Structures are given as structure tokens and as C-alpha cells.
Amino acid sequence: MATMVEFAKMNGLGNKILVIDMRGRPDRITPDAARTLAADPKTSFDQIMAIHDPKLEGTDAYIDILNCDGSKAQACGNGTRCVVQALSAETGRKVFTFQTVAGILNAVEHNDATISVDMGRPVFDWNKIPLAEEFHDTSRIELQIGPIDAPALHSPSAMSMGNPHAVFWVDKDVMSYDLERFGPLLENHPIFPERANITLAQINSKHQMTTRTWERGAGLTLACGSAACAAAVSAARTGRTGRKVEVTVASSPNRGMLTIEWRENDDRVVMTGPAEWEWSGHVDPVTGEWQADTAEGAIAL
């Protein structure tokens, strides 16, 4: 058995996150360990946020992200907020810079305990999202589910927030759609060579919208931060809302809310919302064997 490392079971608006401290180690969490942890009801998660020693000068850590099926993820906004809360509790600091496979993320914890994450610039080019065929305008691509003359979902906006997203616009309550059935079909549709996150979005006003997401590699989750960003940007891009919106995540406990701003001055997307610690423990990053800490209290990473 490998030496166990500390981890915290956390959530961002119900998005189930394991923050695992891999600092001081050269290895990575194995896909087998991720799948073992995901299969256990007590450690079931949507994403693992593994904190590694920084690779670049000027950054505080390298964050490796895994989905519950053991696959890699490029971005996880709700998970990044959990990392900030964990490291802030450990160090007392409020401002952090992380490196991920998708690029550099800057984040800050505010006095009200909410956390803002700069998610970077959205990508709209069809070949960079990526899509399998060329679309001149990715704000509306040809894709539908259901009868050709009366599709249940159609014409999504496609983009990347470090990972591929398709946002379907709906008029009814997002919870009334059978996303558990549609999600796997759309995630794995041939138009998405790297699969995609699938989001249903309902516009309530120029300043407020509601979303529900099927996550690539994780399935139907209670919340997805990068999907909320993708939906907010796509809504502004298509003239449905302004560039700053409140996004109600329908599946999350108490229909939690994120504030998303697509800044006009630098084209960057900033997401603000909460994170919550649940409990801490130790885990074997090779096998996924774990044990809970007996002492309760602050996060100890």
C-alpha cells in the first residue's frame, strides 16, 4: 500500500468534490483509485481535485482533475472553489493562482466566504472546441434529439471553457426533461470527438437563468461550474441576457446560485459562488483505500 495522503470531502453547490493533497509526491492518483472512491457511497464524487506542487514560477499549485469514471477533466469551476477554501483554511491566504491542463486560473476568497474564480476566455472556434465538422457560427449548431419535425432538444450553442460544452435552450422547467436519458447520447455524439458537457438552459430574465447539466465523464451532477459559465456566455453571445447573470443550478440543494460575469474589457469569465467542507480523511492514491479522520474541525491539508 502506498503512503496515504490527506483529502477533504467537499461540495460546490452540491457538486461532489474530493480535494486530495498530492504535494511532495511525484506520482498521480490512478484511474483505478478514482473509480474505487467513486463506487463507495461515502466517497462518491463528481470530480477529484488533486493538489500537486507547482510546475510554473508564480503559481501556487498544479491541479490535476479526474472525473468519477477515472478520465481526465480539463476544468472544474466548483472544484476550484473547493481547493481555494481548503488552502485558505490551511494558510490564511485569500488569493491563489493555479495551473491546470486548460491553463492558469486565478481565484480569491471574499470576506463573505464566497469565492471568485477567473475561468479564462471562452473559445468559439469549431476546431478548438472541438467539433467533428466545421460550423461557421457555433452559437447555433445542427444537433437535435427526438422527431425531426418536433425535436425535444435542438440547435445548441457550442463552446469551450477549457472543456467542450453544448448548451440547449429550453422554454420549460429544465427539470422536466429526461436528461438522464438524453445526456449519454449527446455527450457521446459523433459531433463531439472529445465528448461534451450537455446543459439545458432556461432564460428567466436578462439577468437570471436556470441550468441543469449532464457532465462529461461524471453523468448527471448536482452542479457544474464550467457549464454555468458556458451557459452564461452563450446566453450573452446570442443576445438572451447581458454579460453578468445569476445562474440558478436547478439540481443543486436549494437550487443554489452562481454569479457569472463575462467581462467586456478582457473577455474573461469570472464565476463567484460558495464551497462547503463536509469531512476529512486519508486515502491511498494508488488503490483508493481510505479512512476518515476521527477528529472533527477545520480542513487539514
Catalytic residue numbers?
76, 224
Residue 138, all three cell numbers: 457555433
Q: Are 130 and 165 in contact (CB under 8 A)?
A: no
Would you tell me how many other CB atoms lie within 10 Å of the CB of residue 84? 25
3-state secondary structure of 110: coil
Adjacent-strand bridge partners of 160: 123, 164
Ramachandran assignment for 223, one of left (phi > 0), alpha (psi -120 to 50 degrees), beta (any other): beta
Residues in the chain: 301
Q: What are phi and psi of 85, to 5 degrees?
A: -60, -40
Q: Are 120 and 268 in contact (CB under 8 A)?
A: yes
* HSE, side-chain direction, 13 A CA sphere, residue 24: 7
Q: Are 23 and 61 in contact (CB under 8 A)?
A: yes
Q: Are 210 and 248 in contact (CB under 8 A)?
A: yes
DSSP class of 193? T
In single-letter form, the type of residue at position 44 comes to S
How are beta strands 47-52 and 15-21 bridged, if at all? Answer: parallel
Residue 239, all three cell numbers: 443576445
